[in-house]
Amino acid sequence: MLPSMRIGPYQLKNNLVVAPMAGVTDRPFRMLCRALGAGLAVSEMVASNSLLWGSEKTRRRANHEGEPEPKSVQIVGADPAMLAEAARYNVANGAQIIDINMGCPAKKVCNVMAGSALLRDEPLVARLLESVVKAVDVPVTLKIRTGWDSTSRNGMRIAQLAQACGIQALSVHGRTRADAFMGSAEYDTIREIKAAVSIPVIANGDIDSPQKAKHVLDYTGADGLMVGRAAQGRPWIFREIAHFLATGERLAEPDPIEVRDILLSHLENLYSFYGAALGVRVARKHIGWYSKGCVGGAAFRRTINTLETPAEQRALIETFFARQAELELAA
């Protein structure tokens, strides 16, 4: 039986969460991952700067039409009043869970003292969390790293602070800000955090296979798992992990025809969401990820990146994956 998880009033169908990733976890990707086994998908981060709320990009990021519940929106900022206002704005626009980003290592975020830079200022963390929790009547969750760098791993103190401030679930990426995405994630700190708090703890970092997922769950005692980069081009990783955790058996990888069908369905949603011209451009990185490891993938990607219309993308994808199926049959 696959464990489920509760965040406030919401009972998730399982304990697998799609990590918020800027430029990746738009509505089409979130809905696809949910359909393929994820219990929750968190939106790309929305800036707390209210001047940005009117932008087309921000409106798209806050668009949750047709998404399964609960709808979780991640906000980022370093000013308590502005972050609270951003939380209220997103709840008014359909967010059912507000997630606060204190995990992003990007320089442009950290340079304005947001994201993981906040981990260096625990009193400010407390003010931010209290401000947002008081501002909205939906569950507020938090995403952090284990600390700023290896000499200041204060994830445990931040976790205890978060619980005291009313945060209802905590996601922890097993790297410091200084690590960015280098090296390997460590799970000792996540294990210590889980032992120190009673709110749900979601482990994140390098969870790229069903076996790794089980190892991280068993080792940390975490309540849930968050998968990010490993879902790029492999959104079915959620059903694979769910199956393995429930049965102890590996699910077969999708064959090239199923991969093609999943990709084409994903692209139709991108074209519809962004419009044809922008949809084609956004689709390129996803097509690149889906074709990773395929025979002739590099040449295929070079060509796909020159195409300008949905029809051209569809046609080349049909041809490419038909060839992959032939190669698989011949093997």
Catalytic residues: 104
- The whole-angstrom separation of Cα 150 and Cα 128 is 24
- The whole-angstrom separation of Cα 324 and Cα 285 is 19
Cβ pair 288, 317 in contact under 8 A: no
User: Quick check: helix, strand or coil at residue 22?
Assistant: coil
Cβ pair 251, 239 in contact under 8 A: yes
User: Quick check: helix, strand or coil at residue 7?
Assistant: strand
Cβ pair 241, 15 in contact under 8 A: no
Total count of residues recorded for the chain:
331
Question: Which runs of E-coded beta strand occur in the chain?
Answer: 6-7, 10-11, 16-18, 40-47, 72-76, 97-102, 140-145, 169-173, 201-204, 224-227
**DSSP class per residue in 60-94:** HHT--TTPPSSPEEEEE-S-HHHHHHHHHHHHHTT
User: Which of 76, 64, 68 lies closest to 22 in space, CA to CA?
Assistant: 76
Contacts of 264 (CB under 8 A, 6+ apart): 314, 317
208 is written with which tokens?
A: 């790229």
Cβ pair 17, 216 in contact under 8 A: no
